[in-house]
A and B are shown apart, each in its own frame.
Chain A
């Protein structure tokens, strides 16, 4: 290891350490936007000026709010992982038995894959760890998709209906919570900031798409599945359990 005599972080107590201890938010932000790794040329960072001094001041996030965002985004990520896998394993048996469903299944799968990508990006960006149950949800959702796919069109649609009902509820409560923050921030004459505004928009759009899937499923005779009540009850309870666990780990 060649010892470079780089500027030591602690040898100069007179230097403003504070600026080093707080992450350079905008540097990181720009890095993230460009999708490339930035080059940090200076050992002593100069405080970056706010690129666009927004007129309303930014609301600062409380620890509770950060915790909420963390667990909400983790659940969303795990949920979209599961949804993608359910469709992946449902499609072959269903399309084989009912070729006319191919475009619908593909449409729904593509949307779910898009959602998954969104949350993959958000987790990496906001440095949120994925759920520790990842391999288990992976196996469980593959099994669920395959099982209901083999049971037939109605069962597969009942599965979609049950999952999307729970997911829709989950997203709805998130939108409600985020809008409440937004209202509170506005009441104080502050703003939530770009990232959170974008998040509200994303979650809303995704919720609407999930509810579309629900409508499609009901349109494709989800209610005709036998035994509908059992399937619906079990899958919904499973979803709620998985959400509960994922919020925590």
Chain B
């Protein structure tokens, strides 16, 4: 689940060797952490999928620009490693942590998230209108920051039991090997594993270069995107890998509840109790403090919707020229929200 814009230092050694010639070698050396370097391992995505306003070479951007880590401000290059440490330390108790953060209802949110996305291709209608070939393929789902595999599990269950689709395939991607290990454990020996309907990918969501463009039906990221260093870059990458008509879907905590009184109460809970519980239960106060603060620093629903639009997506629920309102779904009074985007044909 924790997708982190980082590679551990063992990747650094290989990456510097393969750095593309157009990167100033000394610049790379000067970066202690590899989030940018790992991007340089691969040539940049084809320019046709890039926003013209974006710097053509991601590796050359100012990665030392300050970013936030919880409430502290740190250089961008550091964020990924700090986030990695958080998730490495909480990987085994991740579900417990989500229960605490969401007052225990993240399971319901995830169920709702998957149900409203309705993955899987329904069986051919009585009139035989659907061509058999599409049925054969199933959908390709990419679950970013899906380390522990709980979204993937729900996707596959929904596709199989609701839509009777035995082909749909999920790729679970996470930057953090410890989190992915949790997912591998979950699927070990399962039917899905045996049928080859699930695989694992250790990758940075800001650079999914091993995934071809226009190849994914559904891109999901649940409770992960707030940890990304460059959310805009990750959104552009999502746009690239999705097929035309493909769907980007994101489930994430929101910084502010819709009701200000409840917001105050919830803040009391999250800032007061959660780090304390973290300390008592997991003996790790700082990681839990980060998680609470990272929610606070995540853009509000309207702002994040505009970022999705910026990346080129059509945002649902905005008919009637209502550019300034709507476009997401609040869950449980707005503790969390579902954002979607459809890649236009």
Chain A residues with Cβ below 8 Å from B321 are 63
- Closest Cβ–Cβ distance, residue A157 to chain B (whole Å): 48
- Closest Cβ–Cβ distance, residue A27 to chain B (whole Å): 22
Chain B residues with Cβ below 8 Å from A63 are 321-322, 324
Which range contains the number of B residues in contact with the other chain?
Answer: under 10
The secondary-structure label for the interface of chain A is: helix
CA distance A63 to B321 in the complex (A): 9
CA distance A118 to B123 in the complex (A): 62
- Closest Cβ–Cβ distance, residue A62 to chain B (whole Å): 10
- Closest Cβ–Cβ distance, residue B324 to chain A (whole Å): 8
CA distance A139 to B29 in the complex (A): 83
Interface residues of B in 147-200 (CB under 8 A from A): none
CA distance A63 to B324 in the complex (A): 10
Closest to B320 in A: A63
Closest to B321 in A: A63
CA distance A63 to B322 in the complex (A): 9
| Total cross-chain contacts (CB, 8 A) | 3
Closest to B323 in A: A63
- C-beta contact mask, B309-339 vs A, less than 8 Å → 1, else 0? 0000000000001101000000000000000
Tally of A interface residues using CB under 8 Å: 1
- C-beta contact mask, A26-68 vs B, less than 8 Å → 1, else 0? 0000000000000000000000000000000000000100000
CA distance A63 to B320 in the complex (A): 11
- C-beta contact mask, A54-95 vs B, less than 8 Å → 1, else 0? 000000000100000000000000000000000000000000
CA distance A63 to B326 in the complex (A): 15
Chain A residues with Cβ below 8 Å from B324 are 63
- Closest Cβ–Cβ distance, residue A18 to chain B (whole Å): 14
Closest to A64 in B: B324
- Closest Cβ–Cβ distance, residue A13 to chain B (whole Å): 15
- Closest Cβ–Cβ distance, residue A102 to chain B (whole Å): 53
- Closest Cβ–Cβ distance, residue A236 to chain B (whole Å): 35
Closest to A63 in B: B321
- Closest Cβ–Cβ distance, residue A71 to chain B (whole Å): 18
- Closest Cβ–Cβ distance, residue A103 to chain B (whole Å): 52
CA distance A206 to B321 in the complex (A): 34
- Closest Cβ–Cβ distance, residue A113 to chain B (whole Å): 38
- Closest Cβ–Cβ distance, residue A169 to chain B (whole Å): 30
- Closest Cβ–Cβ distance, residue B326 to chain A (whole Å): 13
- Closest Cβ–Cβ distance, residue B307 to chain A (whole Å): 22
- Closest Cβ–Cβ distance, residue B103 to chain A (whole Å): 37
- C-beta contact mask, B297-315 vs A, less than 8 Å → 1, else 0? 0000000000000000000
- Closest Cβ–Cβ distance, residue B325 to chain A (whole Å): 10
Closest to B325 in A: A63
- Closest Cβ–Cβ distance, residue B321 to chain A (whole Å): 7
- Closest Cβ–Cβ distance, residue A216 to chain B (whole Å): 46
CA distance A63 to B325 in the complex (A): 12
Closest to B322 in A: A63
Chain A residues with Cβ below 8 Å from B322 are 63
- Closest Cβ–Cβ distance, residue B322 to chain A (whole Å): 8
Closest to B324 in A: A63
Interface residues of B in 65-108 (CB under 8 A from A): none
- Closest Cβ–Cβ distance, residue A22 to chain B (whole Å): 11
- Closest Cβ–Cβ distance, residue B259 to chain A (whole Å): 23
CA distance A55 to B204 in the complex (A): 53
CA distance A63 to B318 in the complex (A): 14
- Closest Cβ–Cβ distance, residue B271 to chain A (whole Å): 36
- Closest Cβ–Cβ distance, residue B327 to chain A (whole Å): 15
- C-beta contact mask, B229-265 vs A, less than 8 Å → 1, else 0? 0000000000000000000000000000000000000
- Closest Cβ–Cβ distance, residue B192 to chain A (whole Å): 39
- Closest Cβ–Cβ distance, residue B263 to chain A (whole Å): 27
- Closest Cβ–Cβ distance, residue A1 to chain B (whole Å): 30
CA distance A63 to B323 in the complex (A): 10
- Closest Cβ–Cβ distance, residue B4 to chain A (whole Å): 41
- Closest Cβ–Cβ distance, residue B194 to chain A (whole Å): 44
- Closest Cβ–Cβ distance, residue B216 to chain A (whole Å): 28
Shortest 3 CB-CB distances between A and B: which pairs?
A: A63-B321, A63-B322, A63-B324
Which residues of B pack against A, CB within 8 Å? Answer: 321-322, 324
Can you name 3 A-B pairs with beta carbons within 8 Å? A63-B321, A63-B322, A63-B324
